[in-house]
């Protein structure tokens, strides 16, 4: 959550963060308060918590969007899809091997059996646009943390969902399958920083920030 973007939303936009799984991943419910149309981004698990938040907000979920294929972001996607009857959209197809090995990741990390392999209805590519009510989210392919990582940018709101690419004061880890530090730095410098210092972002773990704050102070971007 950032200063500029509160739970009640600004400029007709709502964000609800639901921390899920033992990794405390920020599952995000993005919604249009007027039409109550919503998307759930990165339902990593604890699907009952996500469903309770959806009910509390009174929103109608139209789709599940995935930033990337890691277990803590995609492990609850199939269960949520079945509960809500909506499509899973994203990430980029390069993360297919991660998505199809979530159950193996669960064994590796020693986490519960509720997390399942995810099979998106549609993968995403650089330059696509996703609609949510009147909002338009541009898809940017930002590999490095994982090969198929995408981020979602709403240009008019100056809002970015950065997934695990960029955090407040840190960046995504690159020691997991398909990760590459130089590629991640290039994604941040060539795709994220040019969006503008005034862009506020939320991310997969911890608090959000702004692009400008990270450009000036993030130790990984020196
Ligand atoms: Zn990740
Ligand atoms: Zn993560």
The structural domains of the chain, ordered by start, are 14-221 (3.60.15.10)
Q: What is the DSSP string of 168-216?
A: TTEE----STT--HHHHHHHIIIIIGGG-TT-EEE-SSS--EEHHHHHH
Question: Region 210-221: what's the mean pLDDT?
Answer: 98
Ligand nearest to the CA of 203: 2
pLDDT tens, residue by residue, 113-141: 689 999 999 999 999 999 998 899 999 99
* Cα 70 to middle of ligand 2, angstroms: 7
Whether this prediction's pTM lies above 0.75 is answered by yes
Instruction: Give the chain's end-to-end CA distance (angstroms, integer).
Output: 24
What is the Å distance from ligand 1's center to 157 Cα? Answer: 25
Q: Which residues pair with 154 in a beta bridge?
A: 137, 159
**What does the mean pLDDT of the chain come to?**
93
Q: Are 35 and 48 in contact (CB under 8 A)?
A: no
């Amino acid at each position: 959550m950032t200063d500029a973007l509160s739970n009640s939303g600004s400029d007709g936009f709502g964000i609800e963060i639901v921390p899920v799984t033992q990794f405390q991943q920020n599952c995000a419910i993005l919604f249009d308060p007027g039409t109550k149309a919503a998307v759930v981004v990165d339902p990593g698990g604890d699907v009952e918590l996500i469903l309770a938040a959806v009910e509390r907000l009174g929103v109608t979920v139209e789709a599940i969007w995935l930033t990337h294929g890691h277990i803590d972001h995609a492990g609850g996607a199939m269960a949520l899809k079945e509960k809500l009857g909506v499509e899973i959209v994203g990430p980029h197809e390069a993360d297919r091997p991660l998505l199809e090995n979530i159950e193996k990741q669960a064994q590796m990390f020693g986490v519960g059996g509720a997390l399942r392999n995810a099979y998106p209805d549609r993968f995403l590519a650089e330059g696509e646009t996703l609609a949510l009510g009147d909002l338009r989210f541009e898809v940017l392919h930002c590999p490095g943390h994982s090969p198929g990582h995408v981020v979602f940018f709403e240009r008019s709101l100056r809002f970015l969902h950065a997934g695990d690419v960029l955090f407040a004061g840190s960046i995504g880890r690159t020691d997991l399958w398909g990760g590459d530090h130089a590629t991640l730095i290039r994604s941040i410098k060539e795709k994220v920083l040019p969006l503008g210092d005034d862009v506020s972002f939320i991310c997969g773990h911890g608090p959000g920030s702004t692009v400008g704050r990270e450009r000036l102070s993030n130790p990984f971007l020196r």
